[in-house]
Amino acid sequence: MVASRRWETNRIEAFSDGVFAIAITLLVLEIKIEPEQFDHLLRALLDEWPAYLAYVTSFLTVGSVWIAHHNLYTHLRFVDPVLLRLNMLLLLAAAFLPFPTAIMAQAFDASENAERVAVAFYGGTALVIELLLRAAVTYAASRPDLTDTPPPGAAPPSQPKRHWREAVTASLYALAILAGIFIFPRLAAAAYLLVAIRGMLVVGGEGRLSLRGLTPR
């Protein structure tokens, strides 16, 4: 029987950290004051509040995803081809986040219809990130051989129990998208900020993850 391919996580973690760092740095580039606005600088700074809101929301979102990603990989010793590709898809979505962030910030100065589209676009991107992160965690929890090489004849660890808390973040994003489309767009923007704050502050699974079935390094 041919053993499945697997690799240590060092390079994956280093590459992922670099992508998260670049994505989180690009967010601030959307906050800018045009030269002609310096005649009324205070007003111009205050008028940039949508950009500040979008920046803080996305910074905390990427930060909470990085925390969850770090938490996952501290429990893993190896990655296999499936987890490697799930990680690449997660990074693809995370690196894309600055674009819907800029769209959402600019849409607040446009029409209400533009706001609805922008918050749905942002929320959809954030939801995809959350689902990819959940897929990576679920897959890793189903593969105890990625945590360490079990001794011959050892029984595999029991599967982690599923709890409703694991789906809270994805559910909140989905509800916020619906609220932004059908009720009030800025309500969705506020909800995204609250979800991001929750992801940063909730301790235990780092805001979204349940990894009790994995063995720490």
Other Cβ atoms less than 10 A from the Cβ of 74: the count is 13
Residues 59-68: tens digit of each pLDDT = 999 999 999 9
- Tokens read off for 79: 């990655």
Mean pLDDT computed over every residue of the chain: 83
Residues 9-53: tens digit of each pLDDT = 999 999 999 999 999 999 998 888 888 888 888 988 998 898 999
- Tokens read off for 68: 């969850």
More confident residue, 163 or 169: 169
Residue 69 confidence class, pLDDT cut points 50, 70, 90 = very high
- Tokens read off for 7: 């690799």
Distance CA 54, CA 36 (A): 23
Query: Mean pLDDT: which of 39-48, 88-97, 206-215 is highest?
Result: 88-97
156-161: average pLDDT = 46
Distance CA 52, CA 54 (A): 6
> What is the predicted pLDDT for the residue at 122?
95
Residue 109 confidence class, pLDDT cut points 50, 70, 90 = confident
Q: What is the DSSP letter of 51?
A: H
Q: Taking the CA atoms of 98, 23, 74 and 90 in sequence, report the sign of the dihedral they define.
A: positive
pTM above 0.75, yes or no: yes
- Tokens read off for 78: 């190896």
